[in-house]
Amino acid sequence: MPEVIGRTDVQRLLTEDRAQVVEVLPAEEYEQAHIAGAVNIPLRDLNADSATQLDRERPVIVYCNDFT
Amino acid sequence: MDWLAAGLPADGADSAAPEVADATSAVARFRLDDNTQTIAQRLRESGEDWAAIVDEGGVLLGRVRLEDTDGPGTTAGCVMQSGPSTYRPNVPLDELLDRMRDKGFVRAFVTDPEGKLLGLITREHIEALLTNRSGIAAAPGRS
């Protein structure tokens, strides 16, 4: 189930569980700057096919802008 | 991006440009109830001019300059200047340098998006770093 987490949990998951980070921002924004090691699957391209590049055995962290 | 503003590892075109995080140094930290004479002694010993006043979570509350500690001993909270200007670690150094020159200030605190103190940045350090980098870029044999 998806769960909202903060930076501390992201760092913990990356270190302890070899989590995968997916940035769903547009490619232009990703190319400018992104979390180290993150892959880019823009939200409009996120589907079953594009998700096959992810390892189902490891946690997936999805990053997007948060305007709250 | 919140991640970048916290100074965490990043890749991408922007990550090659020097940022505030690259020139941030440690700064003396005290609590509101610390004595000003203790602060003065520490600053004199380290040759620093500013001390950061933080809460128990490391959130920046204000600053005490060495000159604020003159006079009879009191607590940091009594002489502290609240709400100093702060910058995020992902601000480009050249942008901050322009701002510092325009506004005429020579140092500033660096905090994360939650206000947690990361350190201090000085104009002198930025200028030295940028000069050094431009020298490297201009060196023969480098493109």
CB contact under 8 A, A36 and B11: yes
**CA B96 – CA B119 distance, rounded (Å):** 15
* pLDDT above 70: residue A67: no
Q: Looking at domain B2-7+17-138, does it have CATH number 3.30.390.10?
A: no
Extended strands (E) in chain B: 10-11, 28-30, 50-54, 60-65, 81-82, 86-87, 107-111, 117-122
Cβ separation A31–B12 shorter than 8 A: yes
Distance of residue A19 Cα from the nearest chain B Cα, in angstroms: 15
CATH of span A7-63 = 3.40.250.10
- ipTM, two decimals: 0.73
> How do B60-65 and B81-82 pair as beta strands?
antiparallel
pLDDT digits (tens, 9 = 90+) for B44-85: 999 999 999 999 999 999 999 999 998 888 999 999 999 898
A47 at interface of B, judged by CB pairs closer than 8 A: no
With a cut of 90, say whether residue A6 has pLDDT above it. no
What residue segments make up the domains of chain A, in order of their start? 7-63
Average pLDDT over residues B111-132: 92
**Where along chain B do its domains lie?**
2-7+17-138
Interchain contact, A38 vs B15, CB within 8 Å: no
